[in-house]
């Protein structure tokens, strides 16, 4: 396979290389990795309000947003911390700093019942092991349930985050193993099998609005609910994204290029992750 | 009426082969010391219940204590997979492991129902996912007022709940703070309960964010300083993120795992 | 996103004729000042919701603000009856008062359902009592796992919830402590909410037993020092038991009541 | 009517008077009122464990028990205070001292759902405006519901206290207006219409075990569930109790006399209520 493994970051794309020259512009601008582009692009989508943060990539991006353009963003973790302001993204969703810096710490039943379930929270921010054409997410098993090829961690808070947040942002590295025609297991519902399914199921949030990858940005077509490529990250081609997608990916008529990470964004991100620029 | 007894005695009194046992603690205050004592006492056929089975359940499963796991997220938080859990599910080593899989919201509400003396809980959850097709005890329920269809899960009432807390007084009243997770619900839902604590103090002082469990709602309290390592006890210790990362290497291989358990858990018995 | 505004403006913005309004506070932190402002603004046809309608609801009812009362215990705690409530029920003065009557457990769970975005709550309650024959929205519900019959009540989602708290910061984050009752649930269940506070401080300091409501879950915050009198705000005031006893004499007679309200509530408007 | 009004205490029964000479014994022993006898008799029934305390008479008796023979009695109030140790019985169930002296203070939903409902609490201690042959309690209306003679406060916590505590003690002054053949409204279930009703209704506590009045003590017959007079307070006759009961009251074969309040009991009670001896 030529696609990167989903658990290893892509190599850095140096500024001026064919991959990013078109947009990063200024000579001497910091080189950045595809993961950094992905994280910055995801952070930009968080504009304010409240965000129910999954662990891993979502947590880094949400913390980056709070450090840059969205200082009032309210971070909510399923461990029960509301308004956490960690100095560094936590390794687990229950690190002590989350509780120490939170506006309020509530029990786990309360965070799901009083805060998530009623649709009080603006953005649900999720990762995925597989995602399909209709933005359904699998974090349970690769292969069959009874005899899995890979047993993944499972649902956690994701099914109800995907159901109840007013909208959902997904952040996931793109590859044909990850972007599949149909997920092996629906852990969290995107648009089910298409238009009207969320309403039929009684899911009250509007579902995934944005899927941000290391290659670009996908958004659901407002009519068909199918994911469509709407942005390419600098230096990435449509062919490369289509090769990394397990279905016949539609491309938006007005396909745009993502603004590359600015110096302030990169500095803030690297301060968070501890990576040297 | 809680009685304060040594950990080995508490586990010996409370945990029997075949029991359903919930060790809770949501990333914080995970009762590792008690889990290790269950392993040392060689319990078998346990139904292990836990929202987030992490390293301690990886250890219990890898040591062959469990026949069934009820859970909602089984991973090494921030690191990756639980290799012993995966090996049991994928390869039935050291024994087959039945699994009953939920979402966090589902298990949290099942504990709430258990703590509340109700046979079931209602939530907006699971709908449209494949979980109900694999977990038969997730059922639809219709609102008698609006006709809307929601989801019901049966109450969880473990035979034994085990949690770790910062403090208890000599009577066995328990105080925990920080991220308090689902511990109150697990203890109140269980038939018997054990709380391990960092220390036993003369008197509990009120603290911001503290949950107090009165002694008459608990069976045993045991002093187990450091008993949540490698998780943490806010105010007493910090999370040993290095150990969580190291566990990935230890647990990946069966022999390495067994050697580690032998050295760090089994042979520590005498020392206690 | 809470905005901090004067009390008269907050009540004016939030409470409209015909609204369902829950003023909560379980004997502690009862929002008297806000209730008086509703009376001064002359609201009518309100559906008043409250577990324990006490003197403030006696006043609202006696001043003709309410068309319906949803409640579980309507008395003057430790003293006796609410005479204005009784006069409205028994003699329809000053207007007929519909009542919807529950138990504490029923209303508390209805608020929990409301705060949780569920259409109903399940409890072991009401069974064998005459309440379901008088309160049509108490219905049986069958456990889908055990077949056991329990009781369902519909969620309460008031148009407006009003509570009193000790403190808020300038952003409108609210902190209350002591007996915290059902206030969190009432605020989270409501479409709009007002929290009156003893004082607005620069920064909220963590306190034992404190409940914090983040500003983004609240509509308005208003400073109303002493706003819970004759109930109390732990840390700021003590319950004026003498006034509760005196109210029995004031409220027993319609004219005495009206004179008291005129002197102590209506004509104080200008002073604020 | 010759019976005392239910809201006015009986006059004190002086020691040595016919009403109490038989049992109070020692000349010069403190005189005590019928209400004091009732409260002391009720307190004696609380031996330890936990007690869900209604306001008014139950609260005084429960606090008296904690001050005398049951110092470890855990008092639980519906305001959410667990293990309250008030210096004086509170006027309301939400007085500040309850919270300040409690082992734990929880929300009102929690006290009902996590503590009362599962049957964790030993004794439920209730008052009544009416009580009937099967110990059903009315605190809702006298007369008809739609056109009541007296509108009472209503249910409060009582229906679920009566359903879920392992057993129930009722304290109520006795008169034919209060002890009625059938309550005007069943606010809280005792034994319904007789044996088997609690089980049919799914009520998990065992129901009222003792009804303590200003005249004596009534207990349900283990077979018929009907209240039977088992104790007379000193100086009270069976005829007087029957005259104060609105049904044909059964009397136990081994009817006994209540031990009068001892000096320590009276002193503790008066310290609580502020009454001078």
Instruction: Flag if A49 and C216 touch (Cβ within 8 Å).
Output: yes
In a domain, B184, yes or no: yes
Residue of B nearest to A164 (CA): B124
Query: Do residues C116 and B124 make contact, with C-beta atoms less than 8 angstroms apart?
Result: no
pLDDT, tens digit (0-9, with 9 covering 90-100), for A129-159: 999 999 999 999 999 999 999 999 999 999 9
Asked whether the predicted pLDDT for residue D18 surpasses 50, the reply is no
Q: Is B123 on the interface with C (CB under 8 A)?
A: yes
Same domain for B57 and B113? no
Q: Is C202 on the interface with B (CB under 8 A)?
A: no
Is pLDDT larger for residue C65 or for residue A97? C65
Is pLDDT larger for residue D239 or for residue A86? D239
**Which pLDDT value is given to residue A14?**
35
pLDDT, tens digit (0-9, with 9 covering 90-100), for A106-127: 999 999 999 999 999 999 999 9
Q: Which of D95, D73, D255 is nearest to C29 (CA)?
A: D95
Same domain for B47 and B30? yes
**Which pLDDT value is given to residue D28?**
52
**Cα distance from C2 to chain D (closest Cα, Å)?**
24
Q: For residue B115, give its domain range.
A: 104-154
For D143-201, give the DSSP string: E-SSSEEEE----TTHHHHHHHSSEEEEE----TTTEESS-SS-SB-SSTTSTTHHHHH
Same domain for B90 and B120? no
Q: Which residues of B touch D83 (CB under 8 A)?
A: 214
Same domain for B135 and B230? no
Residue B69 DSSP SS3: strand
**Which pLDDT value is given to residue B87?**
95
Asked whether the predicted pLDDT for residue A17 surpasses 60, the reply is no
Same domain for B25 and B98? yes
Asked whether the predicted pLDDT for residue C176 surpasses 80, the reply is yes
Q: Tell me which residue has tokens 């009695």.
A: D73
pTM of the model: 0.94
Q: Is B209 on the interface with C (CB under 8 A)?
A: yes
The confidence band for A211, taking pLDDT boundaries of 50, 70 and 90, is very high
pLDDT, tens digit (0-9, with 9 covering 90-100), for D61-108: 999 999 999 999 999 999 999 999 988 777 777 788 889 999 999 999
For range D265-272, the mean pLDDT: 94
Peptide bond into D114 cis (omega under 30): no
Residues of D annotated as part of the active site:
78
**Which pLDDT value is given to residue D1?**
28
In angstroms, rounded to a whole number, what is the distance separating the alpha carbons of residues B73 and B154?
Answer: 19
**Which pLDDT value is given to residue A29?**
61
Asked whether the predicted pLDDT for residue C235 surpasses 90, the reply is yes
Give the nearest partner residue to C86 out of D80, D96, D151, using CB atoms. Answer: D151
In a domain, C176, yes or no: yes
**Which pLDDT value is given to residue A23?**
42
Same domain for B24 and B39? yes
Q: Is A118 on the interface with C (CB under 8 A)?
A: yes
**Which pLDDT value is given to residue A28?**
52
- Residue where a domain stops, chosen among C90, C122, C154: C154
**Cα distance from C55 to chain B (closest Cα, Å)?**
32
In a domain, B272, yes or no: no
| Domains contained in chain C, number | 2
For range C92-100, the mean pLDDT: 96
pLDDT, tens digit (0-9, with 9 covering 90-100), for C34-64: 999 999 999 999 999 999 999 999 999 999 9
**Which pLDDT value is given to residue D276?**
57
Instruction: Flag if C115 and A103 touch (Cβ within 8 Å).
Output: no
Asked whether the predicted pLDDT for residue A13 surpasses 60, the reply is no
Give the nearest partner residue to B144 out of C120, C123, C143, using CB atoms. Answer: C120
Homologous superfamily of D30-271: Glutaconate Coenzyme A-transferase (3.40.1080.10)
Q: pLDDT above 70 covers what percent of chain D?
A: 89
**Cα distance from B204 to chain D (closest Cα, Å)?**
9
**Which pLDDT value is given to residue D20?**
41
**Which pLDDT value is given to residue A199?**
96
pLDDT, tens digit (0-9, with 9 covering 90-100), for C247-265: 999 999 999 999 999 999 9
Q: Which residues of C touch D157 (CB under 8 A)?
A: 73, 103-105
Same domain for C181 and C231? yes
Q: Tell me which residue has tokens 């599910």.
A: B89
Residue of C nearest to D129 (CA): C80
Instruction: Flag if D164 and B212 touch (Cβ within 8 Å).
Output: no
Helix%, strand%, coil% for chain B, nearest 5: 30, 25, 45
Q: Which of A78, A160, A226, A265 is catalytic?
A: A78
Asked whether the predicted pLDDT for residue B127 surpasses 70, the reply is yes
For range D120-134, the mean pLDDT: 97
pLDDT, tens digit (0-9, with 9 covering 90-100), for C97-137: 999 999 999 999 999 999 999 999 999 999 999 999 999 99
In a domain, B169, yes or no: yes
Q: Which residues of B touch C143 (CB under 8 A)?
A: 119-120, 152
Q: 246-275 in A: which are within 8 Å (CB) of B?
A: none
**Which pLDDT value is given to residue D265?**
96
Strand order in the sheet with C139-142: C120-123, C149-154, C139-142
Same domain for B98 and B147? no
The enclosing H or E element of C98 equals: strand C98-101
Query: Do residues C28 and D79 make contact, with C-beta atoms less than 8 angstroms apart?
Result: yes
In angstroms, rounded to a whole number, what is the distance separating the alpha carbons of residues C38 and C162?
Answer: 11
Is pLDDT larger for residue B270 or for residue C18? C18
Same domain for B149 and B96? no
Q: Tell me which residue has tokens 């002082």.
A: B205
**Which pLDDT value is given to residue A16?**
33
Asked whether the predicted pLDDT for residue B272 surpasses 60, the reply is no
Query: Do residues A180 and A132 make contact, with C-beta atoms less than 8 angstroms apart?
Result: yes
Give the nearest partner residue to C117 out of A49, A83, A119, using CB atoms. Answer: A119
Residue of B nearest to A154 (CA): B73
In a domain, B271, yes or no: no
Q: Which residues of D touch B185 (CB under 8 A)?
A: 114
What are chain C's partners, defined as 3 or more CB pairs within 8 angstroms? A, B, D
The confidence band for C237, taking pLDDT boundaries of 50, 70 and 90, is very high
**Which pLDDT value is given to residue B50?**
98
Give the lowest-confidence range in C193-197, C266-270, D186-190, D261-265: C266-270
Q: Which of C148, C123, C134, C135 is nearest to D201 (CA)?
A: C148
Same domain for C194 and C217? yes
Average pLDDT, chain D: 89
Q: Is A120 on the interface with C (CB under 8 A)?
A: yes
Q: Is C170 on the interface with A (CB under 8 A)?
A: no
**Which pLDDT value is given to residue C271?**
38
**Cα distance from D242 to chain B (closest Cα, Å)?**
40
Q: Which residues of A touch C116 (CB under 8 A)?
A: 113-114, 117-118
Chains D and A touch (3+ CB pairs under 8 A): no
Strands (E), A172-237: 179-180, 208-212, 216-220, 227-232
Give the nearest partner residue to A159 out of B85, B125, B148, using CB atoms. Answer: B125
A78 is catalytic: yes
Residue of D nearest to C211 (CA): D107
**Which pLDDT value is given to residue A169?**
97
Asked whether the predicted pLDDT for residue A224 surpasses 80, the reply is yes
Residue of B nearest to C205 (CA): B208
Asked whether the predicted pLDDT for residue D115 surpasses 70, the reply is yes
Number of neighbouring beta carbons within 10 Å of residue D15: 19
Query: Do residues B82 and B103 make contact, with C-beta atoms less than 8 angstroms apart?
Result: no
In a domain, B148, yes or no: yes
CB burial readout C76-113, b (16+ within 10 A) else e = bbbbebbbbbbbbbbeebbeebebbbbbbbbbbbbbbb
Query: Do residues D103 and D80 make contact, with C-beta atoms less than 8 angstroms apart?
Result: no
**Which pLDDT value is given to residue C261?**
98
- In CATH, what number is assigned to the domain containing residue C81? 3.40.1080.10
Asked whether the predicted pLDDT for residue A276 surpasses 90, the reply is no
- Residue where a domain stops, chosen among C117, C138, C154: C154
Give the nearest partner residue to B26 out of A94, A153, A160, using CB atoms. Answer: A94
The confidence band for A94, taking pLDDT boundaries of 50, 70 and 90, is confident
**Which pLDDT value is given to residue B101?**
97
What are chain B's partners, defined as 3 or more CB pairs within 8 angstroms? A, C, D
- Residue where a domain stops, chosen among C135, C154, C173: C154
Same domain for C33 and C115? no
The confidence band for D15, taking pLDDT boundaries of 50, 70 and 90, is very low
Same domain for B147 and B164? no
Q: pLDDT above 90 covers what percent of chain B?
A: 96
Asked whether the predicted pLDDT for residue D22 surpasses 70, the reply is no
């Amino acid at each position: 396979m030529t696609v990167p493994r989903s658990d290893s970051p892509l190599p850095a794309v140096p500024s001026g290389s064919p991959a990013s020259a078109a947009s990063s512009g200024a000579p001497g601008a910091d080189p950045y990795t595809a993961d950094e582009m992905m994280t910055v692009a995801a952070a930009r989508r968080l504009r304010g309000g409240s965000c129910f943060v999954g662990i891993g990539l979502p947590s880094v991006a949400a913390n980056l947003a709070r450090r840059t353009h969205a200082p009032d963003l309210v971070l909510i973790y399923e461990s029960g911390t509301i308004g956490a302001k960690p100095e560094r993204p936590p390794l687990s969703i229950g690190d002590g700093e989350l509780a120490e810096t939170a506006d309020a710490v509530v029990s786990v039943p309360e965070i799901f019942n009083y805060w998530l379930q009623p649709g009080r929270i603006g953005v649900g921010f999720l990762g995925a092991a597989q995602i399909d054409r209709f933005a359904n997410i699998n974090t349970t098993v690769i292969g069959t349930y009874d005899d899995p090829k890979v047993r993944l961690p499972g649902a956690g808070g994701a099914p109800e985050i995907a159901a109840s947040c007013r909208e959902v942002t997904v952040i996931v590295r793109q590859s044909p193993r990850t972007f599949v025609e149909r997920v092996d297991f629906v852990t969290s519902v995107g648009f089910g099998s298409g238009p009207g399914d969320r309403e039929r199921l009684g899911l009250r949030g509007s579902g995934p609005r944005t899927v941000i990858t290391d290659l670009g940005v996908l958004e659901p077509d407002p009519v068909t609910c199918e994911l469509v490529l709407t942005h390419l990250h600098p230096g990435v081609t449509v062919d490369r994204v289509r090769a990394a997608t397990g279905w016949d990916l539609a491309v938006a008529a007005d396909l745009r290029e993502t603004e590359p990470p600015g110096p302030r964004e990169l500095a803030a991100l690297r301060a968070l992750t501890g990576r040297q620029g | 009426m809680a009685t304060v007894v040594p950990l080995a005695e508490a586990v010996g009194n409370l945990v029997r082969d075949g029991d359903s046992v919930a060790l809770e603690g949501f990333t914080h205050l995970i009762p590792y010391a008690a889990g290790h004592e269950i392993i040392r006492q060689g319990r078998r056929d346990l139904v292990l219940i836990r929202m987030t089975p992490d390293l301690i359940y990886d250890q219990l499963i890898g040591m062959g204590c469990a026949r069934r796991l009820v859970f909602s997220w089984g991973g090494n938080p921030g690191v990756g997979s639980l290799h012993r859990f995966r090996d049991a599910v994928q390869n039935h080593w050291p024994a087959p492991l039945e699994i009953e899989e939920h979402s966090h919201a589902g298990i949290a509400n099942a504990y709430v129902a258990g703590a509340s003396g109700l046979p079931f809980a209602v939530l907006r959850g699971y709908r449209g996912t494949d979980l109900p097709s694999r977990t038969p005890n997730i059922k639809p329920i219709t609102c008698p007022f609006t006709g809307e269809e929601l989801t019901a899960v049966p109450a969880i009432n473990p035979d034994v709940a085990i949690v770790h807390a910062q403090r208890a007084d000599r009577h066995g009243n328990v105080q925990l703070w920080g991220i308090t997770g689902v511990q109150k619900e697990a203890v109140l839902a269980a038939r018997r309960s054990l709380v391990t604590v960092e220390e036993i103090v003369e008197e509990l002082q009120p603290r911001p964010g503290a949950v107090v469990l009165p002694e008459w709602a608990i069976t045993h309290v045991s002093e187990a300083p450091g008993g949540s390592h490698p998780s943490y006890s806010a105010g007493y210790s910090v999370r040993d993120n290095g150990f969580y990362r190291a566990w990935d290497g230890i647990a990946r291989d069966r022999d390495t795992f067994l050697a580690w358990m032998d050295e760090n858990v089994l042979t520590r018995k005498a020392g206690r």
